[in-house]
Structure 1
């Protein structure tokens, strides 16, 4: 059997170190969280005319730019919450909290990504650039202080999803849909409430030490609010299909939306996905299938008036 030389050992170690560094970097910029930015593609649902190739390219670029600005926010948030994350049973394994990445390096990445993202956003579309700046300022305010205020923290997160959706509509010069945007707001509040519930169950007595306003929440309060948000999401989406979509068979997507919410609630209670909603989009096949069926029905309804079906 051929023995490994010193050069082979060094080469393997270098490859392993590079792979570990790459994984840490991807965790720092939260690549897994980029799935939230697919709401940018919601703009394809509200075109004033048939979407061309150039508009699709713009939406892809907008998605990448939102990934850049959201990663910038996550870096600052991790720096601010460094000491608290070190006490968290899950977040203590993050690159900064575990010490695998130094704060100076994280700040360097922020100073590269953030200004570049803002500049490219204004080149893409001035109104999209404004949306990106609003998103950045809102989330920096959240990281610095506003996350300590009960319910305000969730409202800011919810508005972030609305901004993602709105930016997509802006780029395709689409028509704003009040009821759809409202359903997105309620849905994100629903997801946020489930996340707070999971945090309370995970941290138990230490919840207030990790996040100041977690002490203001309670499992009982959250359990009362979640059904209200579920109802508001379904009702606002139903109004959207009834009054804002020309092709009325989109009402058949309502049961799909209801199933998706029920399925998510089941996963939150049984599989413990509540603290990481993005895992549902990445791992749960029934949810992914429901999204594909919903998209097929909805897009066909949008294209029907143009004679494409």
Structure 2
């Protein structure tokens, strides 16, 4: 009898642990890497970076992680039926039935309310920026993602707001060149993602995302060179004219290589539909990011 009771308890624990793991997947923690743009503000304050500023930037980073996770949950609830038609997304907790949609919706509401409250406690301007990001993504989830070009512009705007929030936290002057480079880079990533979706879903693409029928491989291939050029030019202008350290000019070839590497991976592997996988799994990309971070650190110590 004791053995039977022990087995029953172990089974219940296993069910609870498994359910918790499925629930954690809703947070999409691997996509938190997108929030590194919050640290962009430190680029504009190299000569005045201190422990408190870094501490606030780290806190802002995790607040963005929290609010973006709540957005992912809401988007998954809205897209649950369409995700069941997707060869990859159908394995997510909601479309696969591992987590109930009602539970995800409640979690998203509680999480977003908590994060928004904490954001205003950290910095009022940061709170308004984070709120703008949240509202913009709500509009995206329910309506704007169905409009061609508007969808990738909204995604890009989310990254610009991340960078802007970091600048506000650092108390630095707003750099238009930096924000423009972030905008063009994320537009580049966004259209590459649409390209990969077209290649992966083929004739089922419109069933998953209505506006994919208005995109084409030819159109996207025409846009990519323009966005690549705009990204490198605006980042170069930022480094040359607005960066506190001219030594950061050596990072321009690093950015150029990173863009070329991403384009290569998009055409050769499955990474194109999930940009965060490049940041986490592709060794050359990780290496170039580490080199960039080393250069940034050396410039901070030199100032």
**Is the contact made by 2:86 and 2:201 (CA closer than 8 Å) also made in structure 1?**
yes
Q: How does the TM-score come out when normalised to structure 1?
A: 0.93
SS at match of 1:97: coil
3-state SS of 2:293 partner:
helix
- For the 8 Å contact 2:46–2:244, the answer to whether it is kept is no
- Post-superposition CA distance 1:169-212 (Å, at most 9, x none): 11111122211111111110111111101111111011111111
Tell me the distance in 2 between the aligned counterparts of 1:92 and 1:64. Answer: 28
Matched, 1:210 2:191: no
Q: Structure 1 unaligned segments of length 5 or more: list them.
A: none
**C-alpha distance after superposition, 1:10-64 (max 9, x if no partner):** 3543343233222211211211211111111122211175222222221121111
Q: Does the 8 Å CA contact 1:190/1:226 hold for their aligned counterparts?
A: yes
Would the alpha carbon gap of residues 247 and 64 (structure 1) be closer, same or farther in structure 2, given more than 3 Å must change? closer
CA distance in 2, matches of 1:264, 1:64: 26
Gaps of 5+ in 2: none
1:23 paired residue number? 21
> Aligned residue for 1:300?
298
- Of the three residues 262, 272, 275, the one matched with 1:274 is 272
- Give the whole-Å Cα distance in 1 for the aligned partners of 2:124 and 2:178: 24
Q: TM-score, normalised by structure 2?
A: 0.95
CA contact 1:33–1:278 (8 Å) conserved in 2: yes
Q: Which residue of 2 aligns with 1:89?
A: 87
Deviates more, 1:60-69 or 1:124-133: 60-69
Q: Equivalent residue for 2:11?
A: 13
Considering only aligned residues, what root-mean-square deviation do their CA atoms show, in Å?
Answer: 1.6
Q: CA deviation at 1:164?
A: 0.6
TM-superposed deviation, 1:153: 0.6
Contact kept in structure 2, 1:194 and 1:275, CA below 8 Å = yes
